[in-house]
Structure 1
């Protein structure tokens, strides 16, 4: 009996092991397995399916979301008139388009994700720090955005069953209403369906969103203007600020846009890696981001202005205005209109949550524990964390919580500054792909025990310059100068970290830097991918710790002699 029990236990253990652990290339050491899985390797050519129009539809779809709708509210309420606030938005999103194109460039050329790219700047093991930072933020924001999406679901249900918002509340102690939680849970379930599909396939989600969300936004605009019999009083209000206040409010309006894009700015390689060519995502992002996001924010301004004519109060949150429509009328036409617009906003919020949070969280968790988590599993873990943290409590019990989250996101600007400085200025666009997956000092990205002190010192400098101002933004008493400097928070974090990194790399030079920018995926990367196809080969120099192979040296020469291209136009 004892032997039979042991045999049974061994079988159960083996089955559990096969289910839990991901399949990896045989012959790898434990350290190497901590750096590799299928989702962390460069994207093979068969999965590079995102072309120009996929990126256009992606950003067109991404632009229609509730946060973008409301982005101008802060500047207008601070005293700017509507067109000044809109110009701030345009300028901010123009900068965002350039940032996204820049940070996405290494992903498009080498087809690697953000966690793998981080190994260049922070070291093989040091890269866990930026990855951990981004994964934590992604999990929290997943829950917050899912709650906002749940509000759209509630509107859809109320349009069908008006009494839905009056059902008995069985969740009084939880800090929310039962009907709100039901809407959140439905949205959360639908999000989990979207997470199932691989990233190279979810481009179809954004194509669908591009055909649903923008028409819904335009329909909302027309409905509000007709109902208000005009654009409303907000667009006729003058500037209410002195010259000094006016200038800083303009700056703050631009920085507010950058803060909102802080995570997406470093997420870019996660999607750029699926580009059909290194240039497939460049112009679609530089042009589409400011154009589409600017139009969405304009629609938000006009609809909110119209709402002031209708109800005497400007509703900047579109879900609140749709709720007001239902509260003031039970007509079938009103309910049908609210349903379809809420559906469009729901699809918009779903796409935003997938793009900004679930994909990034999946990549990050996959990098933190690659033997167990791939992108899909990592995204589902983030989804579970999102519901366990009870986002309704975070949003309802603390006015400072979302302010803190928004303020913390500016520290992502330090990462962006380091990555751009490292890739474009220090390395001149050259990355030795196979060395990103080596777990000893044969890798040029191993630095000292796997940590690049240059990246960490640069990050700390970029963070410290904003830390006091961040405390002030959450209500703490700080010097006035710190509050003034915090108006420039994204620029300060980006510039200080980037310049510090450049200085440190010149004082303490790094190895393996290029002489020319690459116009195509380097041969060394393609050879590395070919070596991955032979899953029985355990002797490849691409995987065994040690000196680089002759094939790698030849491919490096080929890479460095590749056609020269500029950083960005």
Structure 2
């Protein structure tokens, strides 16, 4: 068969379901349509597993332990995590309502706030943040894999480093990263609606790891350790609290604003809510508490403050001179950490970034292909350069809130206050002026103005924080920056609401279902621009998929 450019383009397009009622267009593919009932497989326990995986991992452990570096007492650090976890749960409920009701992800839902072309802006921002976060999670996964293999082959743990010291990456860490990446690529092959069993396996493994490490630390230190009872040393306790809460919200902000990416799989409207409000803050808090206790106790045993559970396992093996018993314990503990990093990378990064990239080029990118692109970009940015100190780790997490907070405020204000949870689903897939979500040339200026005003007050504080400016003239900006997620969300949300009330967008309070098997042609525009690109049929009445329930 002769290979032509047309046939090559058709071969590269993402696959469609058999007897599909949609086509791959600039705005639509299998991963972007509202999920049909047969793909809504997540119930209450499925979402409990989701939030356990999301909250019981190295990130949550490290946040709790690293907060001690801000001068907070362990008790204050726990309080920060509790408040941050509860706020993250509330945001998850509010943002995830779209997915539970309409069964669409953030990639599509951003179109009604930003405009059809304007939605590319928040999607690209989320893609960038997601790639960075994946790189960080992958690096930790590679380190956990290195510790795992070091428990099997002690010589691997002491392999000679052939990389330069300035790279902040050892040779065995790199080998561990490569092995972990192979496992990640295989896990991405599992469809999101089939992830319940991997959730459960990962939970059992990582819970066993954290409990085992906690028992070891408390037993050898004869308690929680002396540091657990030390008072706070931060010169400004209130500022340290707010900085810590911002770090927590920044860490889970991408998961909350894009919560509809997973709530769209709900088989009942309220299936995700219990987990979001109870399991999420509880799991995050318990994991951080374990991390704080272990960090404190391990300092008494090892004499140094180790905020990473992965590094701690390596030190435990060294402390016991790689004895068979120590190696066995380290092996099973690191196995849980490896599985945790795999799952959290799929849940918080692969799914969301894959869907975002799918929205950028639906004909040729779906969630799976987008995940592989994300993996390549996440490694290219060299995340190990971002994590060489605890202070830098917190700065990285806090800076993400500058972009995510305004987008969160706009989403909440538009969906819940302006539109009162009513959408014209079919018009979210029309890429021309016949759609009420087209606005002006595909852009909703209200969203861009609200985003800019929610972001710019944080930029001076970010610059001061990153560069270490300590002059009194920067103090006010730094304090404002420490409230990034709260202030940014509030400013953008309120301003967007005011602009939308003063200059009402078209189609408010209108709603319609997603068109199923066919869509009547509109003579005013080309067939390729039809909503979701559906194929014409000879039926007089098109079948529809009702997503208004």
TM-score by length of 2: 0.90
Structure 1 Cα separation of the partners of residues 481 and 142 of structure 2: 33
Structure 1 Cα separation of the partners of residues 238 and 315 of structure 2: 35
- In structure 2, the partner of 1:489 is 484
- In structure 1, the partner of 2:70 is 78
Selected match of 1:290 from 281, 293, 315: 281
* Inter-CA distance 476–217: structure 2 relative to 1 (3 Å threshold): closer
Report the CA distance between 1:393 and its aligned residue: 4.9
**8 A contact 1:267–1:356 mirrored in 2:** no
Report the CA distance between 1:167 and its aligned residue: 2.8
**Partner SS for 1:512:** coil
After TM superposition, the runs of 4+ consecutive aligned structure 1 residues lying more than 6 A away are 24-30, 538-541
Residue 507 in 1 paired to residue 499 in 2? no
- In structure 2, the partner of 1:360 is 352
Selected match of 1:434 from 419, 426, 440: 426
* Inter-CA distance 155–434: structure 2 relative to 1 (3 Å threshold): same
**8 A contact 1:195–1:358 mirrored in 2:** yes
Report the CA distance between 1:511 and its aligned residue: 2.7
Structure 1 Cα separation of the partners of residues 76 and 305 of structure 2: 18
Taking the TM superposition and a 5 Å limit, the aligned residue runs for 1:127-526 are: 127-172=119-164, 175=167, 176-241=169-234, 245-329=236-320, 330-393=322-385, 395=387, 403-404=395-396, 406-475=398-467, 477=469, 479-514=474-509, 524-525=512-513
> How many residues are paired up?
530
Report the CA distance between 1:397 and its aligned residue: 11
Deviation sequence 1:43-92 (CA, Å, 0-9, x none): 11100000000000111122111121021234333332211211111011
Structure 1 Cα separation of the partners of residues 220 and 356 of structure 2: 46
Structure 2 Cα separation of the partners of residues 46 and 27 of structure 1: 14
Report the CA distance between 1:433 and its aligned residue: 0.5
Deviation sequence 1:150-183 (CA, Å, 0-9, x none): 1101111111111113334444499332211100
Structure 2 Cα separation of the partners of residues 458 and 70 of structure 1: 33
Structure 2 Cα separation of the partners of residues 497 and 333 of structure 1: 55
**8 A contact 1:466–1:492 mirrored in 2:** no
Report the CA distance between 1:479 and its aligned residue: 1.9
Structure 1 Cα separation of the partners of residues 20 and 218 of structure 2: 66
Deviation sequence 1:280-301 (CA, Å, 0-9, x none): 1112111111111111011001
Selected match of 1:66 from 50, 58, 69: 58
**Partner SS for 2:515:** helix
Structure 2 Cα separation of the partners of residues 29 and 270 of structure 1: 20
**8 A contact 1:465–1:492 mirrored in 2:** no
- In structure 2, the partner of 1:565 is none
Structure 2 Cα separation of the partners of residues 145 and 434 of structure 1: 37
* Inter-CA distance 503–48: structure 2 relative to 1 (3 Å threshold): same
**Partner SS for 2:258:** helix
- In structure 2, the partner of 1:529 is 516
Deviation sequence 1:82-138 (CA, Å, 0-9, x none): 112111110110010010111110011000011100001100110000001111121
What is the alpha-carbon root mean square deviation over aligned residues? 3.0
- In structure 2, the partner of 1:37 is 29
Structure 1 stretch displaced more, 346-355 or 500-509: 346-355
Deviation sequence 1:501-555 (CA, Å, 0-9, x none): 000000100233339xxxxxx8x43x523548xxxxx79975579xxxx989x99
- In structure 2, the partner of 1:8 is 2
**Partner SS for 1:240:** coil
- Where in structure 2 are there 5+ consecutive unaligned residues? 520-526, 535-539
- In structure 2, the partner of 1:519 is none
**Partner SS for 2:131:** helix
